């Protein structure tokens, strides 16, 4: 099954031709590289591909090779395509050649560069590429967004219509690595249509713990503190306390937005802030918000802030989270 054109890339190509410089970066490497290959295919004439396509692995290319290739005109085609992979591994000399070329590319060259920018890097090389090239970024979704990413990817890439429960199950079983998740979705896409139910998926994608982080967060947001407390030890087999508290903070903030404007307003905010992978859960946030008042949410956020301080001071995760649930329960949450 061929991959549909990546939405970011489709929007960029709708605005301009494939010629010129392109800088594709981000830590979602599988998606980024898939889009880069789609860009290569969009820029090349299949009939003259062998004459007009050069791909370089960063560890193997020299400055002289790159400069010579970029100086060559296309042969019997509109453009030549030069693809430099993993630019973070380039040496200083090759980086200088690439930077200079990207700033003054001929109109019949498409230069495609991919990189994973090291966290916290302030290297001028990446800033310069962003200035001289059309730049697109692929970032891994945050933990709260992983099930939404799974549902979106399953539908767009593999033709799978996954329920929210199935997506959360897969996320809890496989973890956040997008390459592994995508490989799992590919396997599921080969199942006969009548074997793609949520029950079938749970049987085919086993996991070692009973409850996932998203279900546990929903228990707390629904004020089912007694059950959340009973499930605490199990969820802590796969999650850290700091991550759970951070997830609860975000969850309660979203409850506040839903309480103020309902699911339509929440979807609009999520879309405007680039958190579209959470939109699928907007109705659930709105339902949960009905159990809260503004004052109660304010109390909960203060309790979460205290829990975060306690965790970062070294107190054990189970004790801090148990105390948190007891404190939240004092505002009138359900015991069960």
76-101: pLDDT as tens digits: 999 999 999 999 999 999 999 999 99
Find the Cα–Cα–Cα–Cα dihedral 306, 312, 318, 322, rounded to 10°: 0
**pTM of the predicted structure, to 2 decimals:** 0.83
pLDDT at 325: 97
Environment class of 209 (CB within 10 Å of its CB; exposed 0-12, middle 13-18, buried 19+): middle
The parts of the chain modelled with pLDDT lower than 50 are none
pLDDT at 68: 95
Taking each helix axis from N to C terminus, what angle separates 241-272 and 317-329, rounded to the nearest 10 degrees?
A: 60
Q: Tell me the two tokens of residue 134.
A: 């059309």
pLDDT tens for each residue of 24-42: 999 999 899 999 999 999 9
The answer to whether the CB of 235 falls within 8 A of the CB of 213 is yes
224: DSSP letter: B
pLDDT at 1: 59
pLDDT at 310: 97
Give the torsion sign (CA, 312, 313, 316, 319). negative
**Cβ atoms within 10 Å, residue 14:** 7
Find the Cα–Cα–Cα–Cα dihedral 46, 50, 52, 57, rounded to 10°: 110
HEC sequence for 67-97: HHHHHCCCCCCCCEEEEEECHHHCCHHHHHH
Residue with structure tokens 């697109």? 136
| Parallel/antiparallel/unpaired status of strands 80-85 and 20-25 | unpaired
The answer to whether the CB of 168 falls within 8 A of the CB of 147 is yes
pLDDT at 131: 96
């Amino acid at each position: 099954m061929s991959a549909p054109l990546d939405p970011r890339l489709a929007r960029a190509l709708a605005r301009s031709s494939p010629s010129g410089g392109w800088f594709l970066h981000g830590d979602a490497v599988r998606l980024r590289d898939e889009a880069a290959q789609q860009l290569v295919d969009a820029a090349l004439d299949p009939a003259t591909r062998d004459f007009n396509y050069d791909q370089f692995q960063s560890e193997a290319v020299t400055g002289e090779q790159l400069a010579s290739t970029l100086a060559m005109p296309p042969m019997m085609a509109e453009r030549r395509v030069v693809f430099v992979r993993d630019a973070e591994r380039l040496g200083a000399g090759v980086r200088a050649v690439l930077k200079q070329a990207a700033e003054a590319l001929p109109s019949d060259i498409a230069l495609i560069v991919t990189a994973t920018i090291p966290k916290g890097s302030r290297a001028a090389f990446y800033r310069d590429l962003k200035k001289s090239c059309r730049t697109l970024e692929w970032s891994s979704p945050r933990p709260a967004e992983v099930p939404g990413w799974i549902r979106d990817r399953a539908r767009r890439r593999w033709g799978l219509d996954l329920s929210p429960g199935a997506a959360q199950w897969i996320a809890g079983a496989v973890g956040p690595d997008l390459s592994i998740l995508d490989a799992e979705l590919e396997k599921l896409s080969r199942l006969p249509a009548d074997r793609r139910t949520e029950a079938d998926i749970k049987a085919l994608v086993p996991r070692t713990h009973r409850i996932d982080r998203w279900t546990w967060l929903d228990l707390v947001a629904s004020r089912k503190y007694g059950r959340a407390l009973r499930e605490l030890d199990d969820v802590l087999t796969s999650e850290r306390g700091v991550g759970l508290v951070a997830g609860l903070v975000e969850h309660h903030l979203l409850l506040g937005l839903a309480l103020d404007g309902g699911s339509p307003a929440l979807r609009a905010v999520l879309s405007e802030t680039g958190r579209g992978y959470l939109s699928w859960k907007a109705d659930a946030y709105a339902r949960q918000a009905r159990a809260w008042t503004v004052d109660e949410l304010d109390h909960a956020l203060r309790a979460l802030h205290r829990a975060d301080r306690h965790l970062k001071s070294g107190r054990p995760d189970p004790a801090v989270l148990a105390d948190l649930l007891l404190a939240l329960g004092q505002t009138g949450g359900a015991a069960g």
